[in-house]
């Protein structure tokens, strides 16, 4: 009870430090990320894979409108977890940065540079008053100088580079799965398999095409490639993960 009172003291107004040096509003924003369904990124020798779990609360909802993977530029895709409306703001910011870079320097923006533009933007919302932090984590994947790169942005505005990572619900379990099964030498198909296997591992072993998102950027084409439901179904079949189709229960509070 006392701990609760203490916490309440840091919830109001601008983001400030607690006596033990933590930023509660940022930590609460991390909770908003955990409330979203899981997103996974896998880097392979041939390219990067983005795979996401989607919550489709009604069979009448167009599952394609539950956007958790976005094209940021021809050669960069972004998967998100957490507060959907916040994610949309950061994706728009990323796209504008990519366009500006193209216009100003005549060449595509680097994946690392783009990530750091995003995290610097996020950090401002944790230090300057008058707004709350972004309640979302992003996985930024793409090709830079012919190499696949995979980054994470978190609500504090810190960038990390990964071989493979999970954000959102079940992050702990999923990350352990990835660590146990990641193979540096895997090709893109292997990366897809790993991502889908991981998601299936926290979904009773099988997955519904309509509740999945999948995209890749390979080193050869350097093109973001979003998979439609048909191709996702094919991948699930190939990996023996295809669900026979009953719906999840779900809620509707804007986190994915």
> Which element (helix H / strand E) includes 49?
strand 47-53
Which one, 120 or 240, has the nearer CB to its own copies?
Answer: 120
Q: Between 30 and 75, name the residue whose CB sits nearer to its own copies.
A: 30
Among 32, 42, 30, smallest CA distance to 174 is for 42
Q: Which residues are paired to 23 by β-bridges? A: 17
CA distance 22 to 19: 7
Range 185-244, binding its own copies (CB under 8 A): none
Cβ-based nearer residue to its own copies, 61 or 219: 61
Please tell me whether residue 93 binds its own copies under the rule CB under 8 A. no
> To the nearest whole angstrom, how small is the minimum distance from the Cβ of residue 58 to its own copies?
6
Compose the 39-78 pattern: x for residues touching its own copies by CB under 8 A, - for all others. Answer: -------------------xxxxx-xxx------------
Q: How far is the CB of 30 from its own copies (least distance, A)?
A: 7
To which residue do tokens 């897809």 refer?
192
Count other Cβ atoms within 10 Å, centred on residue 35.
18
Strands laid side by side in the 47-53 sheet: 164-167, 39-44, 47-53, 212-218, 224-226
Residue whose tokens read 């430090």: 17
Q: 73, 207, 87: which is closest to 142 by C-alpha?
A: 73
Three-state secondary structure call for residue 69: strand
- Give the number of residues in contact with its own copies, rule: CB under 8 A: 84
| Among positions 45, 74, 110, 175, the unique one binding its own copies when judged by CB under 8 A | 175
The CB density around residue 75, as the number of other CB atoms within 10 Å, is 21
Nearer to its own copies, 21 or 240 (CB): 21
100 counts as binding its own copies under rule CB under 8 A: no
Q: Which of 11, 220, 237, 240 binds its own copies (CB under 8 A)?
A: 11
Q: Which is nearer to its own copies, 100 or 128 (CB)?
A: 128
For the CB of residue 173, give the shortest distance to its own copies in the complex, in Å. 13
- Write the interaction track for its own copies spanning residues 134-173; mark x where CB under 8 A is met and - where it is not: xx---------------x--x-xxxxxxxxxx--------
Residues composing the chain: 256
CA distance 200 to 174: 10
**252 forms part of the interface with its own copies (CB under 8 A):** yes
Q: Segment 101-130, which members bind its own copies (CB under 8 A)?
A: 116, 119-120, 122-123, 125-130
């Amino acid at each position: 009870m006392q701990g609760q009172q203490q916490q309440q003291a840091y919830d109001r107004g601008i983001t400030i430090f607690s006596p033990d040096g933590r930023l509660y509003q940022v930590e609460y924003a991390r909770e908003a990320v955990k409330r979203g369904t899981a997103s996974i990124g896998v880097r392979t020798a041939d390219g990067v894979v983005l795979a996401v779990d989607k919550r489709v609360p009604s069979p009448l909802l167009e599952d394609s409108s539950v956007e958790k993977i976005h094209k940021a530029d021809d050669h960069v895709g972004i998967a998100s977890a957490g507060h959907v409306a916040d994610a949309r703001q950061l994706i728009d910011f990323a796209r504008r940065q990519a366009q500006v870079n193209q216009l100003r320097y005549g060449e595509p923006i680097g994946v690392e540079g783009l990530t750091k533009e995003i995290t610097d933007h996020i950090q401002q919302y944790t230090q300057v008053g008058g707004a709350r932090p972004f309640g979302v984590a992003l996985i930024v994947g793409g090709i830079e100088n012919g190499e696949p790169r995979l980054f994470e942005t978190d609500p504090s505005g810190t960038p990390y580079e990964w071989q493979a990572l999970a954000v959102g619900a079940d992050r702990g379990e999923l990350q352990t799965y990835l660590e146990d099964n990641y193979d540096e030498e895997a090709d893109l198909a292997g990366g897809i398999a790993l991502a889908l296997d991981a998601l299936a591992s926290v979904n009773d072993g099988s997955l519904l095409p309509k509740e999945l998102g999948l995209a890749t950027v390979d080193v050869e084409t350097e093109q973001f490639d979003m998979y439609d439901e048909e191709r996702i179904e094919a991948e699930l079949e190939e990996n023996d993960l295809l669900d026979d189709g009953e719906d999840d229960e779900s809620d509707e509070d804007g986190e994915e």
